[in-house]
Amino acid sequence: MIKIAPSILAANFAQLGQEVKEVEAAGAELIHIDVMDGHFVPNISFGSIVLDAIRPLTSLPLDVHLMIENPDQYIEQFAKAGADYITVHVEACRHLHRTIQLIRSYGVKPGVVLNPHTPIETIHHVLEDIDMVLFMTVNPGFGGQKFISSVVPKVAALSKIIKERGLTIDIEIDGGITAETIVPCAEAGANIFVAGSAIYNQEDRAAALQAIKAAGEAAYVR
């Protein structure tokens, strides 16, 4: 089943609570939260106080995408603020396995993120320890960028490995997702899709979300 995770990075922060409730009512399955530190990525977004604020307003899982250096230092903070998933970039972790264990120790589902150029071989030895792999289909740091289609073969290759090993791991795609770009990703076996501008920048957000989901459902093969 296809799940849609609207990214609040594209929401109106002056009415964030309402923006979260709107996508929940529209059929979103997760809320995607982009944390940027101005070091790992060339942009700053927000920290765990935003989770503190929205946690009581939604029953949806909070999917926290950490685009930060030294993620270990902040995992407790995000776990205590109510994260359900915490995903860390392979490129930002010196001891990836330890970071995954740290996330799990707080009862949070761990996931790993790969930049567009990062090979899937970097996570072969942690697949048994994680709940999600997040493929970046843009270079991280900004919303509203163009989808990088050369990532799709990596998604298909990982999906095959997950199947061969009999694992249950969600494959999430993040960056430039629309009702068109979701199609090759769902065909490659991805099942969770982040969408920021393709939902929040639309007049009818519910219709936009449902159109993206329907296109993904029609294409999904696993």
Ligand X SMILES: O=C(CO)[C@@H](O)[C@H](O)COP(=O)(O)O
Question: Which among 74-82, 114-122, 165-173, 191-199 is the span making contact with ligand X, rule CB under 6 A?
Answer: 191-199
Q: Is 196 annotated as a binding residue?
A: yes
Q: Is residue 34 at the binding interface for Fe ion, with CB under 5 A as the rule? A: yes
Q: Is residue 65 at the binding interface for Fe ion, with CB under 5 A as the rule? A: yes
Q: Is residue 6 at the binding interface for ligand X, with CB under 6 A as the rule? A: no
> What would the two tokens of residue 158 be?
């990982």
Q: Please spell the DSSP secondary structure of 162-198, one letter per residue.
A: HHHHT---EEEEESS--TTTHHHHHHTT--EEEESHH
- Report yes or no: 15 and 220 within 8 Å, Cβ to Cβ: no
Q: Is 176 annotated as a binding residue?
A: yes
At closest approach, how far in Å is the CB of 174 from Fe ion?
A: 4
Q: Is residue 89 at the binding interface for Fe ion, with CB under 5 A as the rule? A: no
Q: Is residue 37 at the binding interface for ligand X, with CB under 6 A as the rule? A: no
- Report yes or no: 23 and 209 within 8 Å, Cβ to Cβ: yes
Interface size with Fe ion, residues (CB under 5 A): 3
Strand partners, 31: 62
Q: What is the DSSP letter of 37?
A: B
Q: Is 204 a catalytic residue?
A: no
Q: How far is CA 155 from CA 2, 73, 95, 151, 190, in A?
A: 15, 30, 24, 7, 7
Q: Is 193 annotated as a binding residue?
A: no
**What residue ranges bind Fe ion (CB under 5 A)?**
34, 65, 174
Which sequence positions are flagged as catalytic? 34, 174
**What residue ranges bind ligand X (CB under 6 A)?**
7, 9-10, 32, 34, 65, 67, 138, 140-145, 174-177, 194-198
